[in-house]
Chains A and B, each alone.
Chain A
Amino acid sequence: DAKTTQPPSMDCAEGRAANLPCNHSTISGNEYVYWYRQIHSQGPQYIIHGLKNNETNEMASLIITEDRKSSTLILPHATLRDTAVYYCIVRGRDDKIIFGKGTRLHILP
């Protein structure tokens, strides 16, 4: 079973920041939080990952709460091309990568 919970869908206006939440209340100390996205009928694309510190790259920022029980993926200036299903994953000791149902993000023009 997936170790994460995400809202099934979200809307965001084009040009605004998209903030996608994820709950992972059972995360263990050495497990990383990963975010991927999947555009229709393609393979998932890696976005970002982190352990306990906030992370930023050219695509997004990842904010992890101090207790590590939740995180937020931030797309700073959403465009129509960011319309996709976003998956939050906790990668554990057994090296499995288990996907949940993800959040379907709609970017509104």
Chain B
Amino acid sequence: DGGITQSPKYLFRKEGQNVTLSCEQNLNHDAMYWYRQDPGQGLRLIYYSQIVNDFQKGDIAEGYSVSREKKESFPLTVTSAQKNPTAFYLCASSPDGLNTEAFFGQGTRLTVV
């Protein structure tokens, strides 16, 4: 089955700890994205990558880091510098180009206590 997989679905961490969220796709897509969603709000872009070994900051990159060492993987690390890390995190991928749809994972709900 082709698709985009985020794991785990729910994640709990203590304040001050870094945590890495997984995003894997087997769709052979060039572009991958990370979004954050807070309750009742829209999606905000954290980071995106158009090609392996390259990525750009989105609108709310502070306190987050990413890597793109492989085409199929785009892990997001929520660092202790992120002031309000508790949120719903969504990963997406798409083929290169403006005339292509993006596919989303089912999200990871991170709770920091």
Contact = CB atoms under 8 A, between A and B. Distances in A.
A43 B104 contact: yes
A43 B58 contact: no
A44 B48 CA distance: 17
B98 A98 contact: no
B91 to A, nearest CB: 8
B101 interface: yes
Interface string A1-39: 010000000000000000000000000001110101000
B101 A51 contact: no
B34 to A, nearest CB: 11
Interface string A80-109: 000001010001110111111110000000
A34 B35 CA distance: 17
Contacts of B45: 96-99
A92 B48 CA distance: 14
Interface residues of B, number: 27
A98 B48 CA distance: 11
Nearest to B104: A43
B42 A96 contact: no
Contact of B102 (A31, A85, A97): A97
B101 A99 contact: no
Contacts of A92: 98
A39 to B, nearest CB: 11
A32 B33 contact: no
Given A43-B105, A43-B107, A91 B42 contact: no
B31 interface: yes
Contacts of A98: 45, 59
Interface of B: 31, 33, 35, 41-45, 48, 50, 58-59, 88, 90, 92, 94, 96, 98-99, 101-107, 109
